[in-house]
């Protein structure tokens, strides 16, 4: 596939960067105008621009796992409203089984863009709403047995037609959510971002002409495909298999298995998820658009990061995901907490790719965001829902240690700042930090485990936990050690109770939930770690003197502390 002769390289570069700037400006609009902490602080949202056929031609610097879902969402609009899509329409949806959604809290608001009376593109924003009703505040239940328990399902609807709001849609949303002010505020932020994207696109269309912009957008899709094929062709041909597990200790059928066979042939890749567990009666089933995004995201991680965020790069990648499995559930499977399965799908594909390109794949990390939700009613009977996304312990990399505080590559989500969490909710963050001597050992060490301890300052409330990596801790690569397992402890009046990785329980007034995240695993043999790096870790309180000696074979002593090179050489010789 070669570049078209009617494409000017300079104009192409300007248009590509203009589209990238457009979606980033949309993302900034959301951040600046949203109401809820989960959107404006944790940044759980994404922006995209799709062409008139629903193909993504640009995505904002937000969440990888949202990229694969926009084409499905726009396709539902094109399918349902064919011949009835008008300027100044707004569309809303969240349902995975009728509308291309990925779980109910992620609500899409999409605006068609017209120029000279012709449909040219779609500006879209998906944002994780603070609450969409259902069993638990925050609408992320792990214990739901079908999607009807998970909250308000929105099929593809118009929330505005030709500039006139459809009041009934606004009314039924506000009536069915616990925190209508925050939900409607975030939705207005989404609408504002869509308008921002529309205005910027129309400026480009006025400058270049809509037909030229269409031609260059098509070339952008082809260009991303060409670059992806070049990257894939450099990989060794073969079949590479891996499997990972979700603890799923809240259901009788746990653990849940994710299997991936990565088949590389020439300039194409097939990822076969056959062998993954059947769908389960718990909210961790991952709709196909979400699972597909996990696969695409894993492969992107070993490619040139300069490849545009356009759906063209997905064309050489075939995904096989049998129906009625946790990676492609069928109605009415629940999926409120499907993020954990998306994370594990990416981890599994990366485990397979590590066999093909060991110099490009890091060891496993914390397993994606833990979600700690505390919801209930204040003394004045007003509702609250504190939804805390907590992550940031990555595995050792082929050329360096696992970074602390960096989220799972499937997401780009931040931890809620302590001061904001306490100002907006009846909670107190009593502890937030790193746990000494917990990083998986390796030539390149994994990140330390994090701890988050939260006290409920309200009346008795509901606590919902979504975590993982206890029975199946993060995997090391090429001789690196596994990461430290996670732990959940509920403390009420001094009495400690260990909770499962996934739990839905009452938390009493004054009760405390302590979550110890899994740490990053190690990459490479610990005995190959540079002794000077071990000393630095000891001085930084990241590794104990005992671990330096027994795990890394490095003898450190004296005042000030220093490496005993002779003793270290002798010790490593006996340990190797």
Q: pLDDT tens across 222-280, in order? A: 999 999 999 999 999 999 999 999 999 999 889 999 999 999 999 999 999 999 999 99
Tokens of 575: 């340990």
Same domain, 518 and 536: no
Q: Domain span at residue 557? A: 530-575
Look at residue 296 and tell me if it is in a domain: no
pLDDT at 191 over 70: yes
Query: What 8-state DSSP symbol labels residue 517?
Result: P
3-state class (DSSP) for residue 236: coil
Look at residue 249 and tell me if it is in a domain: no
Same domain, 460 and 551: no
How far is 256 from 250, CA to CA, in rounded Å? 11
Same domain, 513 and 411: yes
Residues 492-541: pLDDT tens digits?
999 999 999 999 999 999 999 999 999 999 999 999 999 999 999 999 99
> Model-level pTM?
0.96
Same domain, 513 and 534: no
Structural domain ending residue among the three candidates 225, 244, 259: 225
Structural domain ending residue among the three candidates 206, 225, 244: 225
Same domain, 375 and 513: yes
Same domain, 384 and 506: yes
The count of other CB atoms within 10 Å of the CB of residue 6 is 9
How far is 252 from 36, CA to CA, in rounded Å? 35
Tokens of 218: 């098509």
Kindly list the distances between the CA atom of residue 544 and the CA atoms of 128, 517, 551, 557, 567, in Å, as whole numbers in the listed order.
Answer: 40, 19, 10, 12, 17
Judging by DSSP bridges, how do beta strands 495-499 and 450-456 pair with one another? unpaired
Same domain, 537 and 390: no
Same domain, 38 and 187: yes
Number of domains in the chain: 3
Q: Which distant-in-sequence residues (6+ apart) come within 8 Å of 266 by Cβ?
A: 232, 233, 237
Cis ω for the linkage preceding 560 (within 30 of 0): yes
Residues in the chain, overall count: 576
Same domain, 45 and 166: yes
**What was the pLDDT predicted at 69?**
85
- Nearest-Å Rg of the Cα atoms of the chain is 24
Tokens of 483: 């990461």
Residues 126-167: pLDDT tens digits?
999 999 999 999 999 999 999 999 999 999 999 999 999 999
Judging by DSSP bridges, how do beta strands 383-390 and 427-434 pair with one another? unpaired
Structural domain ending residue among the three candidates 186, 210, 225: 225
Look at residue 2 and tell me if it is in a domain: no
**What was the pLDDT predicted at 504?**
95
Look at residue 45 and tell me if it is in a domain: yes
Same domain, 110 and 138: yes
Look at residue 210 and tell me if it is in a domain: yes
Cβ(92)–Cβ(157) below 8 Å: yes
Same domain, 28 and 98: yes
Look at residue 342 and tell me if it is in a domain: no
């Amino acid at each position: 596939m070669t570049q078209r002769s009617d494409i000017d390289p300079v104009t192409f570069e300007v248009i590509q960067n203009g589209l990238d700037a457009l979606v980033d400006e949309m993302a900034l609009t959301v951040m600046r105008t949203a109401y809820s902490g989960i959107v404006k602080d944790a940044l759980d949202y994404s922006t995209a621009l799709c062409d008139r056929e629903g193909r993504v031609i640009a995505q904002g610097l937000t969440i990888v796992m949202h990229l694969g879902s926009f084409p499905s969402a726009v396709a539902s609009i094109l399918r349902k409203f064919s011949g009835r899509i008008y300027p100044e329409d707004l569309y809303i949806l969240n349902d995975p089984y009728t509308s291309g959604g990925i779980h109910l809290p992620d609500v899409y608001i999409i605006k068609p863009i017209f120029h000279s009376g012709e449909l040219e593109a779609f500006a879209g924003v998906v944002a994780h709403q603070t609450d969409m009703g259902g069993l638990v505040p925050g609408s992320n239940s792990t214990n739901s047995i079908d999607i009807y328990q998970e909250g308000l399902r929105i099929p593809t609807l118009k929330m505005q037609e030709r500039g006139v709001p459809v009041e009934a849609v606004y009314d039924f949303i506000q009536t069915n959510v616990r925190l209508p002010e925050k939900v409607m505020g975030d939705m207005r932020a989404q609408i504002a971002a869509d308008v921002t994207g529309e205005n910027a696109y129309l400026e480009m269309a006025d400058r270049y002409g809509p037909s030229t912009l269409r031609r260059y957008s098509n070339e952008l899709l082809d260009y991303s495909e060409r670059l992806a094929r070049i990257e894939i062709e450099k990989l060794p041909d073969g079949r590479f298999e891996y499997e990972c597990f979700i603890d799923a200790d809240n259901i009788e059928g746990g653990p849940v298995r994710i299997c991936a066979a990565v088949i590389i042939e020439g300039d194409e890749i097939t990822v076969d998820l056959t062998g993954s567990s059947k769908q389960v009666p718990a909210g961790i089933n991952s709709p196909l658009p979400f699972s597909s995004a996990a696969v695409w995201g894993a492969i992107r991680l070993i490619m040139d990061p300069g490849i545009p965020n356009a759906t063209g790069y997905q064309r050489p990648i075939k995904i096989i995901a049998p129906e009625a499995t946790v990676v492609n559930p069928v109605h009415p499977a629940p999926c409120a907490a499907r993020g954990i399965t998306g994370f594990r799908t990416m981890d599994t594909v990366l485990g397979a790719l590590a066999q093909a390109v060991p110099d490009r794949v890091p060891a496993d990390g914390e397993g994606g965001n833990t979600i700690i939700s505390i919801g209930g009613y204040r003394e004045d009977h007003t509702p609250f829902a504190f939804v805390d996304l907590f992550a940031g312990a990555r595995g050792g990399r082929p050329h360096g240690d696992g970074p602390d505080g960096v989220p799972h590559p499937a997401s780009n989500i931040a931890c809620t700042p302590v001061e904001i969490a306490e100002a907006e909710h009846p909670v107190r963050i009593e502890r937030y930090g790193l746990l000494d001597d917990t990083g998986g050992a390796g030539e390149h060490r994994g990140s330390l485990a994090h701890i988050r301890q939260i006290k409920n300052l309200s009346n008795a409330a509901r606590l919902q936990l979504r975590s993982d990596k206890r029975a199946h801790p993060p995997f090391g690569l090429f001789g690196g050690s596994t990461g430290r397992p996670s732990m959940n402890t509920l403390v009420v009046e001094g009495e400690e109770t260990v909770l499962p990785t996934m739990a839905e329980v009452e938390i009493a007034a004054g009760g405390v939930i302590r979550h110890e995240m899994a740490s990053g695993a190690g990459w490479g043999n610990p005995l190959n770690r540079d002794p000077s790096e071990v000393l630095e870790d000891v001085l930084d309180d990241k590794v104990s003197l005992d671990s330096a000696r027994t795990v890394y074979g490095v003898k450190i002593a004296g005042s000030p502390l220093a490496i005993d090179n002779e003793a270290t050489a002798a010790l490593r010789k006996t340990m190797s």
